[in-house]
Amino acid sequence: MPAISADPVVSRNFARDVVRRLRAAGHEALWAGGCVRDELLGRIPADYDVATSAQPAAVRLLFGQRRTLAVGAAFGVITVVGPRPAGHVEVTTFRTDAAYTDGRHPAGVTFSTPQEDAQRRDFTINGLFLDPESGRVDDYVGGQADLASGVVRAIGIPAQRFGEDHLRMLRAVRFAAAFGFLLEKGTRSAIVRLAPLVRSVSPERIAAELRTMLSRPGRQRALELLAETGLAHEVFPEWSPLGQRGKGDQEGQGGNPAATGAWLAGARMVGALDGPGLPAALAMLSLEAGEDTVSQIATRLRLSNRESSTATWLYAALKAFDGATGAAGPADRPWSQVQPWLAHPDAPLLADCLRARATHGAGSPATAAWIRAQLTRPREQLDPPPLLGGSDLLRAGIPAGRAVGQLLARIRALQLDGGLHTREEALEWAIQQAPATGS
């Protein structure tokens, strides 16, 4: 998989060179999977995969031990390492998979033909091969027709595809939403029926899918599809009874209408974000679900510390500026109560979320506009350096202890609200207050 800094032109040229070298050595080689789909859709592929008749040992021999990684060799996959701007190319031997026993990996593989290889892949739009030299497309599964019709269709029997790798259900939703495609009827029905299986997928893999799904165009539709198929209830059990269906319920029925309505309203707001991402989506969707929901989800999905802290802070910030009926707007509150939120590194994301919510009738448009305006102020105005530090108070004879922290907090509030202007004023005030503060 290419590095984040990979150059698209260099990556493409490297992927073509991999095919040329394999062919020069007497092997069949073609681009395969998502890069072919993206090429045919007129998109720039995020990465390139090559399918070949060469077996893993032959691939390593051709490209060299130092330029290859054999992490997936048991499944016929060798990663060829390119120059830094090119990233990596996964080279996979044409294969047929044995039964999947763990909901993710086949028990074994048998090297085979392109026709057989296509049948083991997930969706028809991902089952295409492309000759990068001639532009010829080899289509054994009807993928070109589904691309033209805008359909995500599982190859073969949908239940079998999803039974092999349960994450494919989330991938189906992601592809349909990202490309504006429909889920083919049989594929969609299988997802609805098998949705509970997604709970067996590792949290890291689910988080990776959500991360991609919620940071790109189509994220609103992705959230809608998650609710419609019942996947939302399985992926986010903390929001139960969202999407929950009992026996005999039909697709689109059952569950809690109010919870589903709140989810769909949140989906529209997530779709309106200028700076989308998983933390922002979690914070916005959790506003009706309780204050512990964000941290519970972040822990269960094993999000990074940065993602978790951003989501939990953003949830608290949105609550602070939610614009509840009768509450004073931020412009009417003491600046010392508002400024800590606006001085936070994620304040621009807060402003974006408030704007997106206001766009869809939640919160106050005036509050959103006011927050955005404050963030245009110079940093030295928005977050001026504190007048005093703890060492200043200790040197002034104030004993170490809780009193120091209390005094510093009060001095900072007075500074922000205009009650203290200089270091000298602050020190004099602290000395006068110290006896009454206690330790």
- pLDDT tens digits along 191-221: 999 999 999 999 999 999 999 999 999 999 9
Residue 255: the pLDDT is 61
Residue 145: the pLDDT is 98
Look at residues 357, 343, 379 and name the one whose alpha carbon lies nearest to residue 286: 357
Arithmetic mean of pLDDT, 310-336:
81
- Would you say residue 329 has pLDDT above 90? no
- Would you say residue 331 has pLDDT above 90? no
Residue 136: the pLDDT is 97
Residue 438: the pLDDT is 46
Residue 397: the pLDDT is 87
> pTM of the predicted model, to two decimals?
0.89
- Would you say residue 436 has pLDDT above 70? no
HEC profile of the chain: CCCCCCCHHHHHHHHHHHHHHHHHCCCCEEEECHHHHHHHCCCCCCCEEEEECCCHHHHHHHHCHHHEECCCHHHCEEEEECCCCCCEEEEEECEEECCECCCCCECCEEECCHHHHHHCCCEHHHCEEECCCCCCEEECCCHHHHHHHCEECECCCHHHHHHHCCCHHHHHHHHHHHHCCEECHHHHHHHHHHHHHHHHCCHHHHHHHHHHHCCCCCHHHHHHHHHHHCHHHHHCHHHCCCCCCCCCCCCCCCCCHHHHHHHHHHHHHHHCCCCCCHHHHHHHHCCCCCCCHHHHHHHHCCCCHHHHHHHHHHHHHHHHCCCCCCCCCHHHCCHHHHHHHHCCCCHHHHHHHHHHHHHCCCCCHHHHHHHHHHCCCCHHHHCCCCCCCHHHHHHCCCCCCHHHHHHHHHHHHHHHCCCCCCHHHHHHHHHHHHHHHCC
Listed by start position, the domains of the chain span: 1-149, 178-320, 323-382, 390-437
- Would you say residue 91 has pLDDT above 90? yes
CA distance 351 to 381: 18
CA distance 104 to 163: 9
What does R_g of the chain's alpha carbons equal in angstroms? 28
- Would you say residue 327 has pLDDT above 90? no
Residue 289: the pLDDT is 80
Arithmetic mean of pLDDT, 270-284:
96
Higher per-residue pLDDT: 335 or 332:
335
Residue 285: the pLDDT is 93
Q: Percentage of the chain surpassing pLDDT 70?
A: 92
Largest CA distance in the chain: 88
Arithmetic mean of pLDDT, 22-35:
97
- Would you say residue 244 has pLDDT above 80? no
**Exposed e or buried b per residue across 311-345, where buried means at least 16 C-beta atoms within 10 angstroms of its C-beta:** bbbbbebbeebebeeeeeebeeeebbebbbbbebe
Residue 3: the pLDDT is 39
Q: Percentage of the chain surpassing pLDDT 90?
A: 77
Residue 246: the pLDDT is 40
Arithmetic mean of pLDDT, 347-376:
94
Give the homologous superfamily in CATH for domain 1-149.
Beta Polymerase, domain 2 (3.30.460.10)
Residue 241: the pLDDT is 58
Model confidence at 108, in pLDDT bands (50, 70, 90)?
A: confident
What does the mean pLDDT of the chain come to? 90
Residue 339: the pLDDT is 95
Residue 378: the pLDDT is 95
Residue 280: the pLDDT is 97
- Would you say residue 97 has pLDDT above 60? yes
Residue 439: the pLDDT is 42
- Would you say residue 323 has pLDDT above 60? no
Around Cβ 97, how many Cβ atoms within 10 Å?
A: 20
For 259-268, the pLDDT digits (tens) are 788 899 999 9
